[in-house]
Chain A
C-alpha cells in the first residue's frame, strides 16, 4: 500500500479513521470504543473492522440499540476516568441520544461550577448522497454547533480523519466528530508519519484571489472541483475548509475575504438557521465594508431528503451549481 515514495501511503478515509482509533487504543488504556455493531459486525460502515480481534470485547464494546443509554454511559465513563469513543451509527440516530449530548455532556462542567468535565468523543456518520432517503441522510452537524459546551468537528480530508481523533481525545471536554458517509471510500495519500492535527483552525485548501468559498465536509471536494473548472474560465477561487464548526475559526475566513472581497458559503445543511447563516452573519459583523458583493449561500433545498437519485442530486449542493453561482457573483459587478 505504499504510494509514490516510502514516506507516504495510499489509504481510504475509512482506514484513516480506523488507524486513528487503533492508535488511540494502543496509546491510552483508558480509551475504548463502544456503539452499535462496532465489534462483531465490524462497524456499520466497516470503520472498526478487525479491532475486536485486536483489542477484545471490553474495549471494542458492542451495545444494544439504546442510543441514549450508551451515550449517557459514555458520559458517565468519561466522568469516571475513562476516555470513551462512542460511535453513534449516524447523526439521525443521535437524536435519540440528544438528551444525553445536549442536556448532560454539554452542561456538566458549567452546571457543576467547573468540577466535572466530560472528556468524551462521540463519532457519527453524517450527510446525504447515497439514496438512503429522509431518515438516513441528515446533515445536522451545524445544528449541534449551536450548543455551547461541546466541540463539533467536520473532518473532510484523510489527514483530518487520521489526525483529529487523538487531539479530540486529549480535549477535556465533549467533542463530536462528524464523518460524512460519502467520504469513507475516498482514497488518498497520507504521510507515513501522519499524526495528530489541531481541531480549532480552518484551513485554506486552495489559494485564490477572486472569491472565497467557505465550506466543510463532503462539500469541500465539490467546491475544489468547482474551483478547478472556474480556474479554466479565469476565475480564481479560494477554498476554505472549516474543519471545526464549534469553535468557528472566523479569523481564517475573514482574512481570506479581506483579500477576495466576495464570499460564498457551501453547506449540506439547510440555510434556515443553519451554520451557513452563522457564517454569513459573522462576515457581516466582521468585514462588511470589505465586501464587493452580497454574501451568498448554497445549501440543501429545504425539503426532506428524497430517495430518487435525480431528486436527491437536486437537493444537495453540487459542483455545477457552485460554478454557476460563483460566475454570477463574480460577474455581477463587472
Chain B
C-alpha cells in the first residue's frame, strides 16, 4: 500500500560528535562551492558549473543513511554528493581543472564526477537520465542477492521526464531496492514548479506506482537524516523502492551563465534566512550541544582542507594528448 508521511515532527536527538560531523560535512560543501565559484571567475574552472549552496542538508542528511556498499547515482549538481560520499576535495577540484589526477581523469568535469571506490555512478547531465541506471543497479543487486541500496538523486525537473515515470514503474513492478531522492529546489533551471507540474505535490506522484513516499524539509539536516534513515531502512527490509522528496532551495543561480531573471531577489533572501548551516548552528548552540569555538574550529579545518585541495589541483598534470581516445573503449578483455 502507498503511504505518505509528511511533516511529522520527530524530536531528533543528536550527540555532540554527530552534530560536529554533520556541521563539518555541510561546511565542507559550502566552502568547496564558494571556492569553485571563485576559481570559475579566475578561469581555472570552465564549462558549466552548478553549485549547491542552500541544499547542503539534503546531500549530507541522505548520505548518512547509506553504507559504503550502497550505490549513488547523482545529477550534474553533484559536487556535494561526491564530496560527502568520500571523494577527496582535491580529486574533485582536479577534475574541474581538467587534470588527469581528477576523479574522471579530466574527461568529465564538474558535471561528470565518478568514483568507483565509493560506488559513485556520476554525474549525469541529462535530466532524468540517471534514474533508469539506478533501477538497473538495483536489479543487478537483486539478481545477485546482494542486500544493497541504490540511492538516486534528481531534481523536481526530472519528475516531468518520461524516464522518471518509467523508472518508478519498473522499480515498483520488479520490487527493486532504489531510494529515489527528489531534490525539489522549486526551479527546473529557470522554470518554476507551478509552470512545470500540473500536480505540484511531488511526493504524491509516487502514489501512481504504489511506491511509499514522504516529503521532508530539505533545509533541516536532522529531519533529512531521520527521513533518509527511515527510507533506507524501509528499502533494506522490504527490498522495495521508496520515494523521498526533500524540499529545498538553491541560493545561487542555476549555473554561472544564469542571470536569474525568473525569480525575485526577495524570494532568495527569504530562503537564505532558512540556511541549513546557520540554522543548524543556531539550534545546536541553543541546545548546548555545540559550544563556542566549535564552528571556528571546523571552519579553520575546512579552510585548510580546501586550501590543500586547490594546491593539489594546481599541481596536478594534464593528460597527455596521446591518450585523447583512451577509454572510448575498454583496454582489457574479460577472461
Q: With A72-B163, A80-B137, A81-B144 in contact, do A113 and B114 touch (Cβ < 8 Å)? A: yes
Checking A68, A108, A112, A113 against B132 with a beta-carbon cut-off of 8 angstroms, the contacting residue is A68
With a cutoff of 8 Å between Cβ atoms, the chain A residues found around residue B42 in the complex are none
In the complex, whether A116 has a CB less than 8 A from a CB of chain B is yes
Pairwise interchain contact A76-B129, C-beta atoms closer than 8 A: no
Q: A158-190 CB contact bits vs B (8 Å, 1 = yes)?
A: 000000000000111100000000000000000
In the complex, whether A255 has a CB less than 8 A from a CB of chain B is no
The size of the chain A interface, using a CB distance under 8 A, is: 43
Q: B317-330 CB contact bits vs A (8 Å, 1 = yes)?
A: 00000000111111
Pairwise interchain contact B141-A113, C-beta atoms closer than 8 A: no
A58 to B145, CA, bound (A): 12
With a cutoff of 8 Å between Cβ atoms, the chain B residues found around residue A116 in the complex are 114, 116, 121-122
A72 to B108, CA, bound (A): 20
Q: How far is the CB of A205 from chain B (nearest CB, A)?
A: 27
Checking A71, A80, A104 against B139 with a beta-carbon cut-off of 8 angstroms, the contacting residue is A80
Q: With A68-B162, A172-B332 in contact, do A113 and B135 touch (Cβ < 8 Å)? A: no
A63 to B135, CA, bound (A): 13
Q: With A80-B141, A111-B114, A115-B114 in contact, do A99 and B167 touch (Cβ < 8 Å)? A: no
In the complex, whether B179 has a CB less than 8 A from a CB of chain A is no
Pairwise interchain contact A111-B108, C-beta atoms closer than 8 A: yes
With a cutoff of 8 Å between Cβ atoms, the chain A residues found around residue B115 in the complex are 115
In the complex, whether B103 has a CB less than 8 A from a CB of chain A is yes
Pairwise interchain contact B170-A173, C-beta atoms closer than 8 A: no
Please give me the residue from chain B that is nearest to A109 by CB atom: B327
A103 to B123, CA, bound (A): 12
With a cutoff of 8 Å between Cβ atoms, the chain B residues found around residue A219 in the complex are none
How many residue pairs bridge A and B at CB < 8 Å? 156
Q: With A76-B137, A80-B136, A81-B140 in contact, do A104 and B170 touch (Cβ < 8 Å)? A: no
The size of the chain B interface, using a CB distance under 8 A, is: 49
In the complex, whether B90 has a CB less than 8 A from a CB of chain A is no
With a cutoff of 8 Å between Cβ atoms, the chain A residues found around residue B163 in the complex are 68-69, 72, 99
With a cutoff of 8 Å between Cβ atoms, the chain B residues found around residue A172 in the complex are 329-330, 332-334
Pairwise interchain contact B114-A76, C-beta atoms closer than 8 A: no
Identify which of A73, A108, A170 gathers the most chain B CB atoms within 10 Å of its CB.
A73
Q: With A69-B167, A75-B136 in contact, do A113 and B143 touch (Cβ < 8 Å)? A: no
In the complex, whether B218 has a CB less than 8 A from a CB of chain A is no
A77 to B333, CA, bound (A): 19
With a cutoff of 8 Å between Cβ atoms, the chain B residues found around residue A74 in the complex are 136
Among A34-90, those with CB < 8 Å from B are: 58, 63-64, 66, 68-82, 84
Pairwise interchain contact A111-B107, C-beta atoms closer than 8 A: yes
With a cutoff of 8 Å between Cβ atoms, the chain A residues found around residue B184 in the complex are none
Q: With A71-B132, A77-B136, A104-B129 in contact, do A113 and B166 touch (Cβ < 8 Å)? A: no
Q: A111-128 CB contact bits vs B (8 Å, 1 = yes)?
A: 111111101000000000
In the complex, whether A143 has a CB less than 8 A from a CB of chain B is no
Among A87-113, those with CB < 8 Å from B are: 99-100, 103-104, 108-113
Q: How far is the CB of B13 from chain A (nearest CB, A)?
A: 36
A190 to B170, CA, bound (A): 39
With a cutoff of 8 Å between Cβ atoms, the chain A residues found around residue B137 in the complex are 76-77, 79-80
Among A111-150, those with CB < 8 Å from B are: 111-117, 119, 148-149
Pairwise interchain contact A110-B327, C-beta atoms closer than 8 A: yes
Please give me the residue from chain A that is nearest to B142 by CB atom: A58
With a cutoff of 8 Å between Cβ atoms, the chain A residues found around residue B166 in the complex are 64, 66, 68-70
Please give me the residue from chain B that is nearest to A86 by CB atom: B136
Pairwise interchain contact B132-A75, C-beta atoms closer than 8 A: yes
Checking B132, B138, B325, B334 against A170 with a beta-carbon cut-off of 8 angstroms, the contacting residue is B334
Checking A32, A69, A99, A112 against B143 with a beta-carbon cut-off of 8 angstroms, the contacting residue is A32
With a cutoff of 8 Å between Cβ atoms, the chain A residues found around residue B122 in the complex are 108, 111-112, 116
Checking A73, A99, A114, A115 against B135 with a beta-carbon cut-off of 8 angstroms, the contacting residue is A73
A115 to B330, CA, bound (A): 10
A104 to B162, CA, bound (A): 16
Identify which of A78, A80, A84, A117 gathers the most chain B CB atoms within 10 Å of its CB.
A80
With a cutoff of 8 Å between Cβ atoms, the chain A residues found around residue B108 in the complex are 111-113
With a cutoff of 8 Å between Cβ atoms, the chain A residues found around residue B327 in the complex are 109-110, 112-114
Q: B90-116 CB contact bits vs A (8 Å, 1 = yes)?
A: 000000000000111111100010111
With a cutoff of 8 Å between Cβ atoms, the chain B residues found around residue A149 in the complex are 328-329
Q: B136-170 CB contact bits vs A (8 Å, 1 = yes)?
A: 11111101100000100000000000110011011
Pairwise interchain contact B112-A112, C-beta atoms closer than 8 A: yes
With a cutoff of 8 Å between Cβ atoms, the chain B residues found around residue A115 in the complex are 104, 114-116
With a cutoff of 8 Å between Cβ atoms, the chain A residues found around residue B334 in the complex are 119, 170-172
Pairwise interchain contact B132-A79, C-beta atoms closer than 8 A: no
With a cutoff of 8 Å between Cβ atoms, the chain B residues found around residue A113 in the complex are 102-108, 114, 327
Pairwise interchain contact B170-A170, C-beta atoms closer than 8 A: no
Interface pairs (28), CB distance under 8 Å:
A32-B143, A68-B163, A69-B167, A70-B166, A72-B133, A73-B139, A76-B136, A77-B137, A78-B140, A79-B121, A79-B137, A80-B136, A80-B139, A81-B144, A99-B126, A103-B126, A104-B129, A109-B327, A109-B328, A109-B330, A111-B122, A112-B104, A112-B112, A113-B103, A113-B107, A116-B122, A148-B325, A173-B329
**Chain B positions near chain A (C-beta within 8 angstroms):** 71, 102-108, 112, 114-116, 121-124, 126, 129, 131-141, 143-144, 150, 162-163, 166-167, 169-170, 173, 325-334
**Chain A positions near chain B (C-beta within 8 angstroms):** 32, 58, 63-64, 66, 68-82, 84, 99-100, 103-104, 108-117, 119, 148-149, 151, 170-173
